Structure 1
């Protein structure tokens, strides 16, 4: 299912935002009960308000949901709710019940579930077609499931140091915002919020220790980054951030300045962006939001030495951090230090296998070094991450033709071909 999502949805392959949302999610996971595997949190570039979870601890959040939230506790409440759906096995229990009641194929159920989670308006139709006239034809969690996820999620919110009022506040905000609209957001199709449910959530939250959490700089920076990079035009965003600075309409001035710097960068005003980012980084030397943006600026202004000095220091402090590693590798490639970039990325992929961006940069590294066998093999890994196993095998077979009697590379490519063919056959059998 995750490979299908990578192939079909506009995932935000942004190391800084991925790092932020996984840090936030794992702060909740470490306090959750019945966690049997690591969770993966990802962001889909979509202004629709939605979040969903499915097997194996995969939790997707639409970018529009992050920008709608006013506090980190509100955002954490949605993530905690989705974590609770996973730990309480709601989706698994629902599919088990479906399989007992109807002779559905696994593929039909999975494809319908996937569509309904990511795009409820389309998915509901697909499920209705698949499940005929069944009364259980929607993926909406039952009222009992929702109540349980609310109860567990709100408790999890408090246990993790967030304000439990974030849950009723956010759902109440959604209910008010979309009360009179003909088309509710995707999240309300799978997570209806009647007044009774909001009231129950408020009562439940009041029963817990109230912890008004301090405003989060990283949350404010994440919102500013989404606005500057993924919403509106550069000119519009410059006007938005400059207006916020002028009216002092912000929680953190640093976050608004950061958003302005990103918008200036998108508008190719590199020197103006550099001035702001260097000032921000001087006040917060290990902030990866700033370091990531400043790396992009230094590459554009051909100040690669500055980028390498900054990233080398951060790499010693935070080895194998995805933001640092990927920016460092990119800067090394830009400065034609391909061998150093290759070693850095290979080491990173040993501990963090399956990173899409790392494979993409590594493909460029091998291409620059004219290592055709490894270049095609790495392209194969990228296609496999998208579930395109036939194309992955094609790339590997092409790479095999360039191995030039390198026994280790030949064996590795042969093994991966067999593995990908096996995965493809499993999908066909479904």
Structure 2
């Protein structure tokens, strides 16, 4: 929990300081991230988040002017959309992940959005504005939420609120999109992804729209694609030669996971109607197992997982083992010993790996090993940018262990990270009234309460 730092405003008419500084942008980004968490339906699935974060951070490591403070979010929405915000916040819809044909196309979208951040396109939108503060940043957020749920407004509307004329807004958007394409393609190549994935994805979007205005994906409305832009990106991609990768089995597993968890009935129906004579792929069996588990059919889910050959395939084996543990944890009569046996072994092999550790902590908590669950979560929370869902899990484990101060303090942190500052204060007040409060804990809780109160005063 960080105190709201004061942003030093430039003097009116001083063009050298009209754009956000990097530190101001980072500060604004942290505030906007909390607002995004409060307003958008973000995924809490650790495997999906862990995968997108891993791909995103690989791209950032190859980006010119990249920094370690990027945060990657997944919005649970069928629309084909993605966005970037100040400070390194990049969001992508589950609908876009489903629409991409391979991992390189997903990487192309992420690389494009990363380029918007590293080239500081949104920060530049402040040039000519007389305000550099959270209020102006919230105007950007409103535009981003509009682009996700009312796409006709789009990112051009975000810029348009600060630019002077319609023509300036159009030119700004075109210039930034071209630069993000150019930088994004170079990031793809540097990371080992096929640079042709970017023009290929643009063509894919045009195919999905089919020339019908009402069918145009949200991403096209906020990132306009023209024939010239496709040709230009294709020409840039042609400049890169070498062996590049386009796909991975992990991407196909993640896409199968999204489809199975969002629409298990459709996944089951498609699997059982297959009549092409070919044996099902590991990804099909994996998705089918998850869908059966969503329907509470544990035995059928486990039987499907048993059919997957994981020999000599460590990554696939990890996904199957985690899925097996998930199945044992669900249903009316969870098999906690089986789940814990699997997860403890995986946790020893992959210490600190979010999908394993978070699932392990949940299994420990559900099985009554509350203190051990808290220990696992405390180690995870020491990492950079841990997902707030860990705090909610920690609060639940602490409450079951009768550690009331820790439970309320954790929930306060969770609410704070979702921009619910008054609820955070209420949780901290409950912590201060808890019977297990010690002088050391009291000092820490009061400090956090002072910070949360300053945010409520700013509203």
Give the TM-score of the pair, scaled to structure 2.
0.85
Matched, 1:255 2:283: yes
Match of 1:167 in 2: 198
Name the CA distance, whole Å, in 2 between partners of 1:162 and 1:240.
31
Higher relative contact order (CA 8 A, sep 6+): 2
Match of 1:23 in 2: 54
* Alignment deviations for residues 128-184 of structure 1 (CA, whole Å, 9 cap, x no partner): 995697437859952221111111111111111111110000001112321422232
SS of the residue aligned with 2:92? strand
Name the Cα RMSD after superposition: 2.5
Name the CA distance, whole Å, in 1 between partners of 2:431 and 2:179.
51
Name the CA distance, whole Å, in 1 between partners of 2:285 and 2:45.
20
Is the Cα–Cα contact under 8 Å of residues 163 and 213 in structure 1 kept in the other structure? yes
* Alignment deviations for residues 306-334 of structure 1 (CA, whole Å, 9 cap, x no partner): 21121112112221211111111111112
What is the aligned length?
A: 419
- Unaligned residue ranges in structure 2 (runs of 5+): 1-31
Instruction: Call closer, same or farther: CA 1:221–1:139 in 2, change over 3 Å.
Output: farther
* Alignment deviations for residues 18-57 of structure 1 (CA, whole Å, 9 cap, x no partner): 1100111112111111113331111101111111111121
SS of the residue aligned with 2:308? helix
Is the Cα–Cα contact under 8 Å of residues 241 and 259 in structure 1 kept in the other structure? no
Map 1:98-113 to 2 at 5 A: 98-99=128-129, 103=130, 106-113=133-140
SS of the residue aligned with 1:351? coil
- Unaligned residue ranges in structure 1 (runs of 5+): none
Match of 2:297 in 1: 269
Deviates more, 1:412-421 or 1:126-135: 126-135
Is the Cα–Cα contact under 8 Å of residues 359 and 378 in structure 1 kept in the other structure? yes
Matched, 1:280 2:311: no
Matched, 1:329 2:354: no
Is the Cα–Cα contact under 8 Å of residues 78 and 96 in structure 2 kept in the other structure? yes
Is the Cα–Cα contact under 8 Å of residues 52 and 72 in structure 2 kept in the other structure? yes
Shift of 1:356: 1.9
Name the CA distance, whole Å, in 2 between partners of 1:196 and 1:249.
41
Match of 2:21 in 1: none
Deviates more, 1:390-399 or 1:205-214: 205-214
Deviates more, 1:57-66 or 1:363-372: 363-372
Instruction: Call closer, same or farther: CA 1:280–1:159 in 2, change over 3 Å.
Output: same
Instruction: Call closer, same or farther: CA 1:45–1:193 in 2, change over 3 Å.
Output: same
Shift of 1:369: 1.6
Deviates more, 1:386-395 or 1:346-355: 346-355
Is the Cα–Cα contact under 8 Å of residues 341 and 365 in structure 1 kept in the other structure? yes
Name the CA distance, whole Å, in 1 between partners of 2:318 and 2:143.
35
Matched, 1:372 2:404: yes
Shift of 1:74: 1.0
Matched, 1:398 2:419: no
Map 1:387-426 to 2 at 5 A: 387-425=419-457
Give the TM-score of the pair, scaled to structure 1.
0.90
Which of 285, 297, 307 is the aligned partner of 2:327?
Answer: 297
Name the CA distance, whole Å, in 2 between partners of 1:415 and 1:13.
29
Which of 339, 345, 350 is the aligned partner of 1:307?
Answer: 339
Matched, 1:37 2:37: no
Shift of 1:403: 4.2
Is the Cα–Cα contact under 8 Å of residues 193 and 246 in structure 2 kept in the other structure? no
